């Protein structure tokens, strides 16, 4: 990850510019940065491949083969990623790979290499099956899945921060205020926490602010220019709304 140190929520930030450096040589720090971001955002690519009509086993093989080539070779260095976003870079690279692998999609042709990132295809497929049936294009499905994964990762960082401060129970109760449909049941939450309704409202507001900060910081890892954060956030929320 980045050598610039932890941010205000306690998790380190990986700059997209550092990842771009991986395309210009064998910089181990840059390679590690790319590997870390791939580990964080491989699942939207699985959704894309599934939406392209591939069955689970084939999709798993294609995603693993893609990351092996991406992380072990310099193919991605030829992509014009100088001003691109990480999510767009990943999808473009995957499309190149799928075109190349159209007639050679067996594990043997990947040389039996070990993919140096954690994947949970069982969880990915379960999440895929829970997706509502739509006529969304593979590209739109990818954008939505990427946005959902980004929101989830930001929330995971906040949860870890609360746990580190000994406030895991408070987080477990208050997290419902982020997604509760309609009016938030502050009174019931206050009773559960043994606090006043006013105190719970303040705590819920702080949680929303911490999630907002975490989300912005997660997005900042995926763009090269901090000025692009708002634009990227708008695009991701548009993907969720669509």
Please report, in tens digits, the pLDDT of each residue of the chain (242 residues total): 333 444 444 344 456 666 666 555 566 777 777 777 777 788 899 889 988 888 888 888 888 888 888 777 665 555 554 445 778 888 888 898 898 876 565 444 444 445 555 556 566 566 655 566 566 788 988 998 899 889 999 999 999 999 999 999 999 999 999 976 678 899 999 999 999 999 999 999 999 999 999 999 989 888 877 888 899 899 989 988 87
- Alpha-carbon distance of 194 to 185, in angstroms, equals 14
In Å, how far are 9, 10, 28, 129, 161 from 164, measured between CA atoms? Answer: 10, 10, 30, 34, 5
Going from N- to C-terminal start, the domains of the chain cover 16-107+116-241
Pair of tokens at residue 180: 């509760």
CA distance 111 to 91: 23
With contact defined as beta carbons under 8 Å apart, do 143 and 239 qualify?
yes
What pLDDT is attached to residue 21? 60
| pLDDT for 16 | 66
How far is Cα of residue 114 from the mean position of the Cα atoms in its chain? Answer: 22
With CA atoms as reference, report the closest residue to 86 among 227, 207, 228, 194: 228
């Amino acid at each position: 990850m980045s050598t610039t140190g932890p941010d205000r929520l306690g998790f380190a930030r990986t700059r997209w510019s550092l990842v771009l450096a991986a395309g210009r040589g064998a910089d181990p720090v840059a390679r590690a940065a790319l590997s870390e971001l791939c580990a964080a955002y491989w699942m939207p690519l699985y959704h894309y491949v599934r939406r392209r009509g591939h069955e689970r086993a084939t999709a798993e093989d294609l995603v693993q083969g893609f990351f092996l080539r991406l992380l072990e070779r310099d193919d991605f260095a030829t992509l014009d990623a100088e001003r691109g976003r990480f999510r767009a870079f990943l999808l473009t690279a995957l499309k190149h790979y799928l075109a190349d692998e159209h007639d050679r999609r067996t594990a043997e042709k990947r040389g039996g290499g070990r993919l140096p990132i954690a994947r949970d295809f069982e969880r990915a497929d379960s999440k895929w099956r829970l997706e509502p049936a739509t006529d969304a294009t593979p590209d739109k499905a990818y954008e939505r899945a990427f946005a959902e994964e980004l929101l989830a990762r930001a929330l995971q960082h906040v949860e870890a921060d609360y746990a580190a401060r000994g406030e895991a129970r408070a987080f477990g109760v208050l997290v419902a205020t982020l997604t509760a449909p309609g009016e938030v049941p502050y009174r019931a939450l206050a009773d559960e926490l043994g606090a006043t309704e006013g105190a719970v409202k303040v705590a819920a507001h702080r949680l929303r602010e911490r999630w907002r900060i975490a989300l912005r910081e997660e997005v900042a890892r995926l763009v090269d220019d901090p000025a692009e954060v708002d634009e990227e956030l708008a695009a991701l929320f548009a993907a969720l709304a669509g």
